[in-house]
Homo-oligomer: A and B are copies of this chain.
């Protein structure tokens, strides 16, 4: 296919994978086999395969916060796809000189509002380029992996995959600002049992002496886990610039018996 004069995407050869496939089955390995069959020099990195089954919001949360740590020119595949085999589309989005491939189910809409261009993959066009008809249930193997291989190899360009299309917003995301406080909720529970929320650093920094309220606990913000004693419940702005509730050297999810969807509120006077 030809070149795209508007694109700033120059492939680095790196491909990341984000799925809800888990680690028990060879599904991820098979995707890598397909990629290497098409692009033997691919450098493939697992972002995570333990997105909760069909957890579109969690996949969107992590991909949006992780992609920028990869080299410019990386192709990011995200397959959390309850609609696989139905008429749902697959999108290719270019943003920040990175490329993202994901089902058109809202996964790509949790990203920062940067300039981006989106194309809908035209399955007939793939057929013309020699792709066999995909299975009805494993597009990770049959579409995402080989298309990513072609894009990462620089053989195909995103605008050639199909027509440009708008990215439908997923509705209000992130903590909402009401009066002087901020309301949000827990959106991810990580491996350590830390509760990650959708309240961003920027919103918090507008507040003076903020206090975090969650499930009857009223917490002062601290800077890092080591600022409190083992077993203490702490609130901090974490390394992904969102509010996190943690138990020092313990599990907030288990100790407080809380999970995704738990409401969180920050009350404070506005700063300065």
Of all chain B residues, the one with the shortest Cβ separation from A16 is: B29
Known: A23-B23, A54-B249. A29 touches B46 (CB 8 A): yes
Would you call B137 and A25 a contact (CB within 8 A)? Answer: no
| Segment at the interface with B among A2-10, A65-73, A260-268 | A65-73
Q: Nearest Cβ in chain B — how far from A189, in angstroms?
A: 9
A163 within 8 A of B: no
For A21, A22, A191, the residue with the greatest tally of chain B CB atoms inside 10 Å of its CB is: A191
Known: A33-B45, A33-B71. A225 touches B26 (CB 8 A): no
- Determine the distance from Cα of A223 to Cα of B134 in the docked complex, in whole angstroms: 12
Please, which residues of chain B bring their CB within 8 A of the CB of A34?
Answer: 69
Name the contact of A37 in the complex, choosing from B16, B66, B69 (C-beta under 8 A): B69
Known: A33-B69, A142-B239. A224 touches B84 (CB 8 A): yes
Please, which residues of chain B bring their CB within 8 A of the CB of A14?
Answer: 33, 36
Name the contact of A137 in the complex, choosing from B21, B24, B47, B236 (C-beta under 8 A): B236
A209 within 8 A of B: no
For A46, A54, A71, A137, the residue with the greatest tally of chain B CB atoms inside 10 Å of its CB is: A137
- Determine the distance from Cα of A249 to Cα of B18 in the docked complex, in whole angstroms: 18
Would you call B36 and A190 a contact (CB within 8 A)? Answer: no
Q: Nearest Cβ in chain B — how far from A20, in angstroms?
A: 8
Name the contact of A32 in the complex, choosing from B33, B45, B54, B224 (C-beta under 8 A): B45
Would you call A86 and B37 a contact (CB within 8 A)? Answer: no
Total interface residues on A, CB under 8 Å, equals 61
Would you call B48 and A24 a contact (CB within 8 A)? Answer: yes
Please, which residues of chain B bring their CB within 8 A of the CB of A69?
Answer: 30, 33-34, 37, 141
Please, which residues of chain B bring their CB within 8 A of the CB of A47?
Answer: 26, 29-30
**152-187 of chain A: CB within 8 A of chain B:** none
A117 within 8 A of B: no
Would you call A226 and B23 a contact (CB within 8 A)? Answer: no
Please, which residues of chain B bring their CB within 8 A of the CB of A66?
Answer: 26, 29-30, 33
A interface residues with partner B (beta carbon < 8 Å)? 12-14, 16, 18, 21-30, 32-34, 36-37, 40, 43, 45-50, 53-54, 62, 66, 69-71, 74, 82-86, 88, 135-138, 141-142, 188, 190-192, 223-227, 236, 238-239, 249
Which 9 residue pairs are nearest across A and B when measured between Cβ atoms?
A: A85-B224, A22-B191, A138-B239, A86-B226, A135-B239, A136-B224, A33-B70, A29-B47, A33-B69
